[in-house]
Amino acid sequence: MNADFWLERWQKSQIGFHQGQVNPHLEAYWSNLGLSSGAGVFVPLCGKSLDMLWLAGMGHSVIGIELSDIAARSFFDENNLIPSISSRYPFEVYQHAEIAIWCGNFFSLSKDDVNLVKAVYDRAALVALPPDMRKDYVLHLKEILPADVQILLVSFDYPQEQMDGPPFSVGKEEVDRLYGNDFEVKLLDSHDALVKNERFRKLGLTRMVENVFHISRINN
């Protein structure tokens, strides 16, 4: 799965992963991170998520990273915002007030790019990646994020053989394994996501659990 896969998804408007409302888990559990107003928040593989508006409304400075300029432009257009557009090699940055979407490859981000980030909101990044890329994704996060960072992660757990991702199945054991000894992983919520999700029932899933995690570095 390479960049062209996601670029084609946006070009063809095959974006079933996009949610037309703010994620309820974000609203319910964001306060668990105890962040101050103004703290920087990083949203990987952000698409045109309305969650960024909610985070900005809570007083945070938001940085999203997204491959597709279609997604970035759509976010601002659909929310009646006019962004400034600038170049920060190798990224093109769309920004309005406290929300910036960096168009480019997540793996090109450096420590300097996210040095003011205090938290990561991951609803659609980890579950969008196949196993090998998930390992690389978490390793890169560990390398570039500040020491005191916290993460709110939403993931799905289902029989992977019953459906091709994305979204992929990423259970608690894998989250524990990926973040390893560097982070403490707390399960905040776990519930049946299949009951209200006809799309996945039609695809043949017999079980789908949605988990919410609070992840923080140990000894910070």
The pLDDT of residue 197: 85
Predicted pLDDT of residue 171:
96
Give me the mean pLDDT over the 8-20 stretch: 67
Instruction: Report the pLDDT value the prediction gives residue 181, as an integer from 0 to 100.
Output: 82
Per cent of the chain over pLDDT 70 is: 95
* Total domains, the chain: 1
Residues 69-128: tens digit of each pLDDT: 999 999 999 999 999 999 999 999 999 999 999 999 999 999 999 999 999 999 999 999
Residue-level pLDDT at 13: 66
Region of 38 on the Ramachandran plot (φ > 0 left; ψ -120 to 50 alpha; else beta) = left
Mean pLDDT computed over 26-35: 97
What whole-number distance in Å separates Cα of residue 91 and Cα of residue 170?
29
Q: pLDDT tens digit string along 151-180?
A: 999 999 999 999 998 899 999 999 999 998
pLDDT at 14: 64
Greater confidence (166 vs 10) lies with 166
Average pLDDT over residues 33-42: 95
What does the mean pLDDT of the chain come to? 93
pLDDT tens string 70-82: 999 999 999 999 9
Distance CA 93, CA 182 (A): 31
Domain, as residue range, for 60:
3-13+21-217
61-66 and 99-103 beta bridge pairing: parallel
The CATH number of the domain holding residue 139 is: 3.40.50.150
pLDDT of residue 10: 67
Cα 99 to Cα 56: distance, rounded to the nearest angstrom: 7
Question: What are phi and psi for residue 17, nearest 5 degrees?
Answer: -75, -15
Give yes or no for residue 26 having a pLDDT over 80. Answer: yes
